[in-house]
Homo-oligomer: A and B are copies of this chain.
Amino acid sequence: MLHNDTFLRALLREPTEYTPLWIMRQAGRYLPEYNATRARAGSFLDLCKNPDLATEVTLQPLARFPLDAAILFSDILTIPDAMGLGLYFAEGEGPKLERPLRDEWEIRNLSAPDPDTHLSYVMSAVSQIRRSLAGSVPLIGFSGSPFTLACYMVEGGGSEDFRHIKGMLYRRPDLLHQILEVTTQSVILYLNAQIEAGAQAVMVFDTWGGTLSTPAYEEFSLHYLRRIAAELTKQAEGRRVPSIVFTKGGGLWLERIAEAGFDAVGLDWTIELSEAKRRVGHQVALQGNMDPSVLFGSPQAIEKEVERIITSFGADPGHVFNLGHGISRFTPPEHVAVLVDAVHNVSRRLRTNN
């Protein structure tokens, strides 16, 4: 029994009483209670790998705000870590891999990790979070996209220019395809294992696909996203498990992304929702799309922007409110409260007036 299934219904473009919302990185450093748990855990990675603590931080934002979904607390690089590439975090920097893929033999030796052995800590966290949620709101599972994982695997971390992976793309496309084949298989196994463990929706984060040219995006990212959409488990616990894909900076490719086979498409804030809806709203639900920086503004500015975005989409079914990128660690938590209330109130009012 799910008390609040607004999020799941909106993803399937069924009518809802209001626009549901959750926030990318909602369990994160802007919350003092998160920082306290993290300090207790030791490192970020210890936190990810400890199902008790991962459950604790997953639930923290829900205790503060009436959000409409929980998202598994985990890292985007669990798959490369399970492949043996050595995930670590340098203080003040993003995630890094100790052994980036540069040599052909390493790439040829890559294989998809079994989610139930090397990633069992993730599945334990999923089950435990589901039990703790006790049917209050649905739980979202997630993975990085094959191309995004490959970026980290080849670069060894984040990058400004992605010169190693793009060098490979334009010099040895066969090697990059080899990485993407294995990574795609890994993502399918990983997400389906999360669904099996209790995830009620899944999201694929294609954080770096938007750095490609149109034909390169088609060949090295979207092609593999389509295969994931086709192979995802569609039904669990007697209900549809909706899927969401989010290519940051993918606004120009919206029609193709909407045809990839996912139920919903995440949007960053550069595109207008009305425009996105006009282009693909008959095919998929849309998730987004406020600039996280709006949360640095005044409560009035936040409310104004929420009103603008919700009105831009209109009262039709098929919108899940979110930010267009993870929430900043510098966000005042009380501004998140303003956001959540505004989304619920404005969208209820809009439905009443229609």
A contact residues vs B (CB 8 Å cutoff): 161-163, 166-167, 169-171, 210, 212-217, 249, 251-252, 269-272, 275, 291-294, 296-298, 301-302, 305, 308, 328, 330
Contacts and interface: CB of A to CB of B under 8 A. Distances in A.
A290 to B, nearest CB: 8
Given A252-B251, A252-B252, A328-B161, A296 B167 contact: yes
Contact of A293 (B161, B302, B328, B330): B161
Contacts of A163: 293, 296, 328, 330
Contacts of A212: 269-270, 291
Contact of A216 (B171, B213, B291): B291
Nearest to A273: B214
A214 B272 contact: yes
A121 B308 CA distance: 47
Contacts of A213: 269-270, 291
A135 to B, nearest CB: 36
A301 B169 CA distance: 10
Contacts of A330: 163
A322 to B, nearest CB: 14
A169 B214 CA distance: 32
Given A270-B252, A293-B161, A328-B163, A170 B214 contact: no
A330 B171 CA distance: 15
B170 A294 contact: yes
A176 to B, nearest CB: 12
Contacts of A291: 166, 212-213, 216
Contact of A214 (B270, B293, B302): B270
Contact of A215 (B166, B292, B296, B308): B308
A162 B296 CA distance: 11
A8 B178 CA distance: 45
Contacts of A166: 291, 293-294, 296
Contacts of A298: 170-171
A294 to B, nearest CB: 5
B214 A167 contact: no
25 contacts: A163-B296, A163-B328, A163-B330, A166-B291, A166-B293, A166-B296, A167-B293, A167-B296, A167-B297, A169-B293, A169-B297, A170-B294, A170-B296, A170-B298, A170-B302, A171-B298, A212-B270, A212-B291, A213-B270, A214-B271, A214-B275, A249-B249, A252-B270, A252-B271, A252-B275
